[in-house]
Structure 1
Amino acid sequence: MSSNRVVVYKSPGEVAVESVDYPSLEVPQEVADHFGITKKAPHAAILKIVTTNICGSDQHMVRGRTTAPQGQTLGHEITGEVVEAGEDVLFVNEGDICSVPFNIACGRCRMCDEGKTGICLNVNPARAGAAYGYVDMGGWIGGQAEYVMIPYADFNLLKFPDRDQALEKILDLTMLSDIFPTGYHGAYTAGVTTGSTVYVAGAGPVGLAAAHAAQLLGAAVVMVGDMVPGRLTQAESFGCVGIDLSTEGELTDKIAEVVGEPEVDAAVDAVGFEARGHGSGAGEAPATVLNDCMTVARAGAGIGIPGLYVTGDPGAVDDAAKEGTLGVRLGLGWAKSHSFMTGQCPVKQYNRKLMNLILHDRAQIAKAVNATAIGLDDAPRGYQEFDDGAARKFVIDPHGMVAA
């Protein structure tokens, strides 16, 4: 039996790589018990991890800003090679390299039938929707590992058409598991189209992915707001306009300097619940970005919200925020007839088409997010540097399959 190692959350600010059991073709016991299904999963496959990425959502757990328990396995951005397939898996085979949507979906329920795979009804006893290696998301083992089990493999896996081409472009293709579709979803649901002016809040990896997606959708100008100089420089490296939120001045004025008016056609919140106020040394103010987006979005505009918001935040600034109740100016959004899109991105709605953009050299997502490969044992360092504001997307390469 092969061994397996996985990144686990130990305590706020601390992760470690630990040995766990090699995956089996079984669903978590709590999933089987809750839904009255067999634990045995002939519909599943086991993947040897080719690449697995550190996500800002993981970082929320590692900062102690969720209810994740000690020992929570981590990692939901997974690309891997099939090394074992259950007897009911018909259309993926050993040796196939596949992207894994971070949403775990059964492919059988009403939500999956409607394409809403982020809120599948049959994979999580706690709520609709599940993910690998995440608190309250069904008990599925994380993918920042050497091997991982993928349920409902025929439905969930996106097979790359050519193995050699996939490995050549792996730093781009690894982004299909989450941040590229998530960023695209944020821009698309905000209504970005040909000639749009766009404001993206946050120059972390999801914000950069949303900015690149807005360019692909035809935006005339994409402005990206952040307070970390390196991240603003990264946004500017592929043609965005950096908006420095650490300096004095109103956001509307800074936008007007770029587009000639204090509003935009579409806004994207790629920050989420750990948002901070503007200005040097500003404290945490979790509704800041949502209110900014409503302020700068023109009447009738859309606001995409791929940034994460939670119902349990033990480190929140006040009791209301601890349960996800924020001081959002909903009246402003109502008065301006804004539309809002929240929740997990339904990755399967986008990943195949975004794969085609990558394979045909139309999308340069690895360059946009500054993809940087590290080894599995380097994961703790990657988490620390990411938390310190590194303008990089860390890609874990457990088996040395990423070309130098």
Structure 2
Amino acid sequence: MGNLAVSYAGAGKVELIDTPYPEFELKDGPGVHPANIGRKVHHGVILKTIATNICGSDQHMVRGRTTAPEGLVLGHEITGEVVEVGRDVEFLKVGDVVSVPFNISCGRCRNCKTGQTGICLNVNPDRPGSAYGYVDMGGWVGGQAEYVLVPYADWNALKFPDRDQALEKILDLTMLSDIFPTGYHGAIGAGVTVGSTVYVAGAGPVGLAAATSAQLLGAATVIVGDLNADRLAQARSFGCETVDVSKGDPAEQIEQILGVPEVDCGIDAVGFEARGHGHDAGKEQPATVLNSLMEITRAGGSLGIPGLYVTGDPGASDEAAKVGSLSMRFGLGFAKSHTFVTGQCPVMKYHRGLMQAILSDKVSIAKNVNATAISLKDAPQGYAAFDEGAAQKFVLDPHGLIGA
């Protein structure tokens, strides 16, 4: 049996390729760590992919802004149906529909046992933390494919309680693999609570998910800043205030909304490809968002930073940024006693509760991020539209199950 998949084909390009059907063993391939080759995965399941999403983190690789090798199968946002179970799987069964956290974790190491599943110590020989279809993350094959292997499946997979209900709400539930928990993690890290004023930098899908999460947590006012008019309109569609940072730093516009030029909570949903504000709006300035958030977040406040920062960026604007060194005003953050919460979201900390919120109709995450289902074969067009700033979250539908 074959397995059609989306792969990175060099800077600015993705292509569809035929790949082998998954087995319960890691094989050699683009990006696979040599120490992982031959690793047995009897604790895994093979999923028939129902939905797998294009993510801004994928775009960083596709733009050539990482050291990702050509041929890497992409995709870390995975929802699927179990079609095979490994020898050591106890609790999942063929036919179960599950959400898969983008971070792969073993459930056995020191970090996993304390809920820090984003920095599992056992799944990536290079460093703590792993993910499907991602550069330097151990080489686990991505899920933008017809079928995908999920290791440590009893631990990693979140089973939906009812198959029919799951398929009915699949455009919402597919967001549980990454962007909804990631946005929620940003809001939690920023200290959002009832009555908070919140500024979210970035109106891409993660920013919109963070804004949705802030509303879910009881924020009084959620303000979203971006350069993209369509994405700002999408934020306003579900009750957010907005700031157009092409008109200058956000403080003055925030003051017009709140009466003061600061917020209780700041969230960075942009990351290392940040651009300047005002006259510098077209220039890449990777520390812009972090510095801006320190200026506009009140003394004693917190910054949630789910936006991606990397240790290797060959396309960076200066030599320091190529290794993740940014011109950040850390002294300002120190002076204001800010708390910084960074790193991969530990999806498992949040995904069950967010699933319940979706199934109980407490939140409409698919509507808020403008989820748009397309076929697997249309993935290249989806990547191109997303790169051009489309105010959509593209959901790939490899088997035509979403429309059905």
User: Which runs of no fewer than 5 residues in structure 1 stay unpaired?
Assistant: none
Structure 2 partner of 1:94: 94
Letter of the 1:21 partner, please give it: P
- CA RMSD for the aligned pairs? 1.4
Structure 1 partner of 2:267: 268
Distance 2:196 2:338 in 1: 16
**How many equivalent residue pairs?**
401
Provide, for residues 218-257 of structure 1, a one-character-per-residue CA deviation record: whole Å limited to 9, x for no partner. 000000000110000000000001111112x431111011
State whether residues 27 and 151 of structure 1, in contact with CA within 8 Å, keep that contact through their aligned partners in structure 2.
Answer: no
Distance 1:38 1:283 in 2: 45
Alignment of 1:254-403 (within 5 A): 254-279=253-278, 281-403=281-403
Letter of the 1:128 partner, please give it: P
Structure 1 partner of 2:47: 47
Q: TM-score, length-normalised on structure 2?
A: 0.97
Distance 1:10 1:34 in 2: 24
Letter of the 2:150 partner, please give it: I
Measured after TM superposition, the shift of residue 403 of structure 1 is 2.7
Provide, for residues 301-341 of structure 1, a one-character-per-residue CA deviation record: whole Å limited to 9, x for no partner. 01000000001111100000000000000000000000001
Letter of the 1:234 partner, please give it: Q
Which secondary structure does the structure 2 equivalent of 1:137 belong to? coil
Letter of the 2:141 partner, please give it: I
The 3 A distance-change label for structure 1 pair 313 and 33 is: closer
Alignment of 1:5-24 (within 5 A): 5-24=4-23
Which secondary structure does the structure 1 equivalent of 2:111 belong to? helix
Letter of the 1:45 partner, please give it: V
Distance 1:217 1:7 in 2: 36
Distance 1:178 1:39 in 2: 25
Distance 1:18 1:264 in 2: 47
Which secondary structure does the structure 2 equivalent of 1:112 belong to? helix
Measured after TM superposition, the shift of residue 11 of structure 1 is 1.1
Measured after TM superposition, the shift of residue 34 of structure 1 is 3.7
Percent sequence identity over aligned pairs = 67
Distance 1:310 1:271 in 2: 13
Q: TM-score, length-normalised on structure 1?
A: 0.97
Provide, for residues 246-279 of structure 1, a one-character-per-residue CA deviation record: whole Å limited to 9, x for no partner. 12x4311110111110110000000000000012
Distance 2:180 2:124 in 1: 24
State whether residues 168 and 403 of structure 1, in contact with CA within 8 Å, keep that contact through their aligned partners in structure 2.
Answer: no
State whether residues 33 and 139 of structure 2, in contact with CA within 8 Å, keep that contact through their aligned partners in structure 1.
Answer: no
Measured after TM superposition, the shift of residue 28 of structure 1 is 5.0
State whether residues 118 and 344 of structure 1, in contact with CA within 8 Å, keep that contact through their aligned partners in structure 2.
Answer: yes
Most deviating of 43-52 and 23-32: 23-32
User: Which runs of no fewer than 5 residues in structure 2 stay unpaired?
Assistant: none
Most deviating of 37-46 and 147-156: 37-46
Letter of the 2:171 partner, please give it: L
Distance 1:282 1:6 in 2: 34
Distance 1:52 1:74 in 2: 10
Distance 2:33 2:276 in 1: 44
Provide, for residues 29-82 of structure 1, a one-character-per-residue CA deviation record: whole Å limited to 9, x for no partner. 6989748x9722210100000000000000000000001111111000000000
Structure 1 partner of 2:104: 104
Which secondary structure does the structure 1 equivalent of 2:368 belong to? helix
Distance 1:38 1:372 in 2: 37
Distance 1:188 1:27 in 2: 35
Structure 1 partner of 2:131: 131
1:4 aligns with 2:3: yes
Letter of the 1:276 partner, please give it: R
Letter of the 2:264 partner, please give it: D
